[in-house]
Amino acid sequence: MSGGDKLDFEIRPNLAPVSAADRAALLTNPGFGRVFTDHMVTVRYADGKGWYDARVEARAPIPMDPASAVLHYAQEIFEGLKAYRTADGGVTMFRPDANAARFATSAQRMAMPVLPPEVFVDSLHKLIEIDREWIPTGEDGSLYLRPFMFASEVFLGVRPANEYLYMVIASPVGAYFTGGVKPVTVWVSPDYTRAAPGGTGAAKCGGNYAASLAAQAEAIEAGCDQVVFLDAVERRFVDELGGMNVFFVYDDGTVVTPPLTGTILPGITRDAVLTLAGAAGHQVEERPVSFADWQADAASGRLKEVFACGTAAVVTPIGGVRFPDGEFLIGGGEPGRVTMALRQQLVDIQRGKAADPHGWVQRVF
């Protein structure tokens, strides 16, 4: 098997897959990220050899030496995207090329080898094709795909590893937030920050999410669904949520989101929302929004809606904001018209129910 921009995947079917009856039972209520398909993708990398040994094989534990570099120096990145069933029985993905590009950018930031985008996308196709029966048919159902890569070299020492393992696993999922689409309440963290200028905020690496967990626990203790981080320098400006980008909708129809300055993950859903909002006639701005302005504009009525967006939750309205000194509502705590219109348009495009003028949807078969 040769390295390069294209690899031939060896297919090793699982000899003991989940039975059709058991699979159907699991798909009745899969939740999010708790049920997994029968197969996984593995591709290896070594300095001087490149990418090799591409396989689709039975999902199984990963043999790992306790001195594997990732366990000590956290060289790890990942992506998340979904596959959807269409009305004609086909399967589509939403912007996998964008995920491939972001995966490459994350790899560069973490001093890891870049997986060719063609291999990234092909690996998704191969896994979907063999595990297509795991894709839920319900309205909120999809197959969540998790490509990831980590330093697998066995060594102790602070330097980029010489060996890596790229993998893809898949999980049939329902809605990210239980109970359907309803406004969530967010907690503005007074003490914790997610990322600083010059750090890894724009990379999709596990360390960013690990750093958010204490703040997320604080949010849950305060009775909130998610945490909102302020910038690490002035502690004034809104960055993003623990796992989602954030948008503000004003009374003149302007849609605003914080700019990508290196501390915010360049969300693929975020980019799509910007495009859709502009096409719908909204003035779209990427500019800083301070927490003080957020609070003042909500009180005056100038700010009408706030929503979060990401692959898992798509577009989710934010109805309430809490912080150590108080709380306030946005738009009376109800889902906003612009928020729900953008969500529906995006969902319809993803599932092949609406026109796709931007060519975002890729058909798998």
Dump pLDDT digits (tens) for 354-363: 999 999 999 9
**Are 221 and 281 part of one and the same domain?**
yes
**Are 165 and 235 part of one and the same domain?**
no
Residue 310 counted as domain residue: yes
Judge whether residue 262 has pLDDT over 60: yes
Residue 5 counted as domain residue: no
Report the CATH number at residue 169. Answer: 3.30.470.10
Residue 50 counted as domain residue: yes
* Distance separating the N- and C-terminal Cα atoms of the chain: 26
CA neighbor of 305 nearest in space, from 243, 347, 254: 254
- 268-279 and 96-109 are packed helices; what angle lies between their axes, rounded to 10 degrees? 130
> What is the average per-residue pLDDT within 49-55?
97
Residue 2 counted as domain residue: no
Residue 357 counted as domain residue: no
pLDDT digits (tens, 9 = 90+) for 224-235: 999 999 999 999
Other residues' Cβ atoms within 10 Å of the Cβ of residue 232 = 17
Residue 266 parent element (H or E): none
**Are 162 and 208 part of one and the same domain?**
no
Q: Which of 118, 151, 173 is the last residue of a domain?
A: 173
Question: Are residues 37 and 170 in contact, defined by beta-carbon separation less than 8 angstroms?
Answer: yes
Q: Which residue is catalytic, options 6, 126, 182, 204? A: 204
Instruction: Tell me the percentage of the chain whose pLDDT exceeds 90.
Output: 91
pLDDT band at 298 (very low <50, low <70, confident <90, very high): very high
Range of the domain at 104: 10-173
Query: Worst-scoring range by mean pLDDT, 4-13, 203-212, 241-250?
Result: 4-13
**Are 162 and 192 part of one and the same domain?**
no
Written as six digits, the tokens of 13 are 């079917």
**Are 282 and 154 part of one and the same domain?**
no
> What is the average per-residue pLDDT within 141-158?
97
pLDDT digits (tens, 9 = 90+) for 95-133: 999 999 999 999 999 999 999 999 999 999 999 999 999
**Are 167 and 188 part of one and the same domain?**
no
* pLDDT higher at 171 or 2: 171
**Are 66 and 137 part of one and the same domain?**
yes
**Are 218 and 157 part of one and the same domain?**
no
> What is the average per-residue pLDDT within 19-28?
97
Average of per-residue pLDDT values in the chain = 95
**Are 328 and 206 part of one and the same domain?**
yes
Judge whether residue 333 has pLDDT over 70: yes
pLDDT recorded at residue 140 = 83
Residue 358 counted as domain residue: no
**Are 246 and 155 part of one and the same domain?**
no
Residue 363 counted as domain residue: no
Residue 128 counted as domain residue: yes
> Count of domains in the chain?
2
Q: Which of 153, 173, 193 is the last residue of a domain?
A: 173
Judge whether residue 297 has pLDDT over 90: yes
CA distance 305 to 330: 6
pLDDT recorded at residue 89 = 87
Judge whether residue 277 has pLDDT over 90: yes
pLDDT digits (tens, 9 = 90+) for 59-76: 999 999 999 999 999 999
pLDDT recorded at residue 4 = 54
pLDDT digits (tens, 9 = 90+) for 171-197: 999 877 666 678 999 999 999 999 999
Judge whether residue 2 has pLDDT over 60: no
pLDDT band at 300 (very low <50, low <70, confident <90, very high): very high
Residue 357 parent element (H or E): none
Which parts of the chain fold into alpha helices (H)?
Answer: 20-28, 69-73, 96-109, 117-130, 206-221, 268-279, 291-300, 337-350
8-state DSSP, 270: H
**Are 134 and 224 part of one and the same domain?**
no
Detail the DSSP E strand segments found in the chain. 10-11, 39-46, 50-58, 76-78, 81-85, 91-94, 142-151, 163-173, 184-188, 226-230, 238-241, 245-250, 255-257, 284-286, 303-310, 314-323, 326-329, 361-363
Reply yes or no on whether 82 is catalytic.
Answer: no
> What is the average per-residue pLDDT within 248-264?
97
Instruction: HSE, CB side, 13 Å, CA atoms: give it for residue 176.
Output: 18
Q: Which of 130, 147, 173 is the last residue of a domain?
A: 173
**Are 119 and 264 part of one and the same domain?**
no
Judge whether residue 1 has pLDDT over 50: no
Report the CATH number at residue 304. Answer: 3.20.10.10
> What is the average per-residue pLDDT within 312-317?
92
Burial grade of 145 (CB within 10 A; 0-12, 13-18, 19 or more): buried
